[in-house]
Amino acid sequence: MLFNSIEFAVFLPVVFLLYWFITARRLALQNFFLLLASYIFYGWWDWRFLSLILLSSMVDFLVGVGLGGTEVQWKRRLLLGASIAVNIGLLGFFKYFNFFAQSFADAFTLLGKPIDPARLYIILPVGISFYTFQTLSYSIDVYRRKMLPSQDIIAFFTFVAFFPQLVAGPIERASHLLPQFHRRRTFDHDAAVDGSRQILWGLFKKIVIADNAATYANYIFNNHADLSGSTLLLGAVFFALQIYGDFSGYSDIAIGSARLFGFDLMRNFAFPYFSRDIAEFWRRWHISLSSWFRDYVYIPLGGSRGGRWLQIRNVLIIFLVSGFWHGANWTFIVWGALNALYFLPLLLTKSNRAHTDTIAEGRILPSPREFMQMTMTFLLTCLAWIFFRAASVGDALAYLGGIFRASFFRMPEGEFGWFPLIAVLFLLTEWLQREKQHGLALEAAHFPRVIRWSLYYVVSILIMYFGGDQQAFIYFQF
C-alpha cells in the first residue's frame, strides 16, 4: 500500500479511529490491532511475503529469549550467528543472488571460459532491507547486553512490522522503539496535530517535488547522448531533488503517521542539502542507515582508531557496504566508493566533525564561505547521484563526459514549466525551517493562524493539482 494512494487515505483514518476509540483501554489489544493493521498494510502489496516478516520476527524473538536464558558464551555466539544467518541469508538470496551469479559468469568470461549462469526470477520483497536490519540490530544489542530481551511476542512482532516505517524506514533501534510497545499510550493532541502537518509536508515533497522532478530527470537521463552539458547537469540536479523529495517525503509521512498513534520515530533527514561538507551530509542524510552502519559495522571494525591505513580501510568498507545495501548493481558500489573518496580527506585532516551545528544558525543568510561550501557539497553530491541513477557504470561515465563539454556553457534545453519556481520556493521554505523538524513545523506563537492555515491550504491545493498517477517510492526497490 502506497502512502500516496487512495487506499492509504482510507486506511489511515480508519485505523486511527479504531485504535483510539476501540482498543485504547488495553495495551495488549492496541498492539495486536496495530500488528493486524500492519500485516494488512504490507499484504496489500503481496500477502505471500508476509511469511518472510513472520520468519524474521520469530527467529529474532526466539534468539532474544535464548540469549536472555544463557550466559554460556559459545551458546550466545551460536544464537547470534543464527540471527545473522537467517536475516542476511534472506536479504542475500532475494536481493543479490542474480547479481553474484552474473558477476561470477562475467569473471569466467574475462578468463576466456564463458559460462551460462543459473538465474532465477526473484521478486524483491518490499522493505526487506529495512526490517531485516531492524530485527538484526535487536539480536546484536541483546547479545551485547545493551538491552533485555522482549518476553512479549505480540509487542515484538508489532515492533518489526509497524506499518508507518515497515517498508522504507526509518530503520529503528529496538532500544528506542520496542519499549514504546511495552507502555500504555494516551492520545496527545499536539503530537497528532504536528504529525498531521508532517504528513502533509511529506506528501508535498513526494507528489509535487519528487514526482515532477522525476519526469524531467527521466527524460534527460534517457536522452543524455543528445542533450547539452548544461542540460545534463540540470538533470542531475533534478534527480537530486527527486530522490530527496521521494525518500525524505516518505520518512516525513512515516514519522507523522507514527505520531498519530503515540509513537516517536527517529529523525531520518535533517535538511542534508544545506551541508557544508560530505561528512555533514552523511550525518543528515538517511540518518537511521548511516548510524546503523556506524554502530554495527564501522565501530566494531575499529572506527577512526588505529593507524591511517586502518582508518582508510574502515571508511572504504563502510561506504562500499552502504552502496551495496542499496542494490545489486555496480553503479551503487561506485557511488559508495565515490562518497568514500569525498570523505577520506576530511577524516585524514581530522576535519570530518568540523560542522556539527546548523548552518547559519540564528541567521537568515549564510556567510559567503558557508554558501560556497554548501554549493560545492551539493554539486559533488549531484555528481555522485549520477552513478546512483544510471543503469550501468558505462552509462554514468558517458553522462559525466557529456556534462564536461563545450555545450556546458549553453542554456539548458527543454520546457520545465512552473516546476523550477516551485522547487526554488520549496528549498527556500526548507532553508527558513532548517532549525525545525520539518518544513511545516509552524509554532502558533510565531505564526498567526491565518498565515499557518493559508500555507496549509496552498500546500494541499498543490498536492491535489499535481496528484495524478501514483508513483512508487524510490526506496521500495531497496
Those residues whose C-beta lies under 8 Å from the C-beta of residue 410, and which sit 6 or more positions away, are 228, 229, 230
Those residues whose C-beta lies under 8 Å from the C-beta of residue 312, and which sit 6 or more positions away, are 344, 348
> What amino acid occupies position 110?
L
The angle at the Cα of 29, spanning 24 to 35, to the nearest 5 degrees, equals: 110
**SS3 label, residue 170:** coil
Residue pair 416/216 in contact (Cβ under 8 Å)? The answer is: yes
Q: Which three cell numbers stand for residue 318?
A: 563502510
Half-sphere exposure of 243 (CA within 13 A, CB side): 22
Residue 433 CB neighbours (<10 A): 16
> What amino acid occupies position 438?
H
Q: How far is CA 132 from the centre of its chain?
A: 14
The answer to whether 224 is a known catalytic residue is: no
Radius of gyration (C-alpha) of the chain in whole angstroms: 23
From CA 95, how far away is CA 478, in angstroms rounded? 8
Omega of the bond prior to 170 within 30 degrees of 0, cis?
yes
Half-sphere exposure of 379 (CA within 13 A, CB side): 9
> What amino acid occupies position 406?
A
Scored b (16 or more CB within 10 A) or e, 190-209 reads ebbebbbbbbbbbbbbbbbb
Backbone phi, then psi, for 191, in 5-degree steps?
A: -65, -40
Residue 438 CB neighbours (<10 A): 25
Q: Which of 224, 286, 326, 355 is catalytic?
A: 326
From CA 195, how far away is CA 198, in angstroms rounded? 5
Backbone phi, then psi, for 262, in 5-degree steps?
A: 90, 20
The angle at the Cα of 13, spanning 7 to 19, to the nearest 5 degrees, equals: 125
Residue pair 384/335 in contact (Cβ under 8 Å)? The answer is: yes
Nearest to 208 by CA among 435, 428, 469, 467: 467
Q: Which residues are known to be catalytic?
A: 326
